[in-house]
Amino acid sequence: MKDEEERWRTRDLLASRDFVRLWLAGGFANAMRWLELLAAGLFAYEVTGSGLAVAAVAAARQLPQLLFGAFVGAVSESVNRKHIFLTALLVPASNSAILATLAATGHLALWHVVLGGLISGTMWSTEMSTRRRMVGEAAGPTRIVQAIALDSTTNAATRMIGPLLGGAAFELLGMAGAYGLSSAVQFSCAFAILGFAYAQETRPLALGRIVTDIAAGLRFARTNAVILLVYAITIIVNAFAFSYSGLIAPIGSGEFKVSPTLVGILAAAEPVGALAGGLVLASGMVRVNRRMAFVGGSSLFFVALVVMALSPSYWLAVAVLVIGGVGTAGFGNMQTTLMLTEAPPEMRSRLMGIVTVCIGTGPLGVLLAGVLADATSARHAVMILALVGLALTLALSARLRAR
């Protein structure tokens, strides 16, 4: 009976026009971000042949999450989140259009791509504290688990579709075509959101209060072991696991010697598994312990990365990453669900903003992976970081569980 009720809630969500509008706009926009990330990495590797250069391009797009995530979380309590989301669509769309024009006219340089990544990444830093919170609010308290599972599953799909499109577009159309496609899709998403009905009670924006709000969020987090667990594992997974994505281009092109399209398939392998796992969670057919799914999923991903790094063949590496993606489904779904169910409503945006900061540690791991790749090899770099991350995950989860 309970399973049937959960499936009914999912169907009810999909009947809500506002929820669907917000859900699809976020999905399409995120797909374009991943498209650009792979295209930029292929461009950097083509120009320099350096794993560190590819890692630096990826880090530039992700670094703003570390720098601005908590700030955006506090600001979104005072500025309408719909307006923040619209800005986060329009600015990257314009940025992509400029880069596409530079590529089409033969003037695109690597520093243009890095600067463009910083600009778009700054807008991306609003995702957790604005759009993802809006998803939960649009669903309502009784449907929040289904809404977040559905949205997390969609994010996995965008991480699959984006690289596939990025690899194919780069091979067939070059940087101009890849970034031109991204610009057009993001402008379309912004147009769709204009009609989204969203009401928010805001308070006056006081810049001097932002630091106080962030500090209050951190004080609350220290009293809640589950939120501390989310923060700690989010840092570890993003710094030591997802950093592998910055080396996809040198692993695929340099070590497996495959085409850009096949590099896109390698990049999409983990999201395929995440999509499958997320669909099972969103369906309500399987009940899981949320904390165990969060920690266990993270651990499975680390193990898969170690095996992938040791893989003698390209297709075995693809298959192993698909299995690892099932683990990231547990990690991604429970990351947001645990935060929204453990945090009081008045603190959710600032606490989600701190999650963005934790995610923003990823660029540090990407840069470290680049350094290790140039010193050894791209696959060795992934293996070393994954082993360290697995050890930290098990040690910290045991300590917080005891607390």
Q: Provide the 8-state DSSP code for 131.
A: I
The pLDDT of residue 1 is above 50: no
If one compares 354 and 102, the residue with the highest pLDDT of the two is 102
Locus of tokens 């579709």:
161
Q: Where is mean pLDDT largest: 52-61, 336-345, 389-398?
A: 389-398
Residue 300, both tokens: 């499975």
Instruction: Kindly list the distances between the CA atom of residue 109 and the CA atoms of 98, 159, 250, in Å, as whole numbers in the listed order.
Output: 12, 26, 19
Please give the CATH superfamily to which domain 2-195+209-402 belongs: MFS general substrate transporter like domains (1.20.1250.20)
Contact between 166 and 264 (Cβ < 8 Å): yes
Q: Provide the 8-state DSSP code for 258.
A: -
Every domain of the chain and the residues it spans: 2-195+209-402
The pLDDT of residue 126 is above 90: no
Average pLDDT, stretch 78-104?
A: 89
* C-alpha to C-alpha distance for 52 and 350, rounded to whole angstroms: 33
The whole-number pLDDT of residue 338 equals: 78
The pLDDT of residue 48 is above 60: yes
Neighbours of 29 (CB within 10 A): 26
Report the range of poorest mean pLDDT among 105-114, 141-150, 356-365.
141-150
Burial class of residue 289, CB neighbours in 10 A (0-12, 13-18, 19+): exposed
At 241 the three-state DSSP class reads: coil
* C-alpha to C-alpha distance for 86 and 72, rounded to whole angstroms: 14
At 364 the three-state DSSP class reads: helix
Contact between 37 and 54 (Cβ < 8 Å): no
The pLDDT of residue 31 is above 50: yes
The pLDDT of residue 319 is above 80: yes
The whole-number pLDDT of residue 7 equals: 59
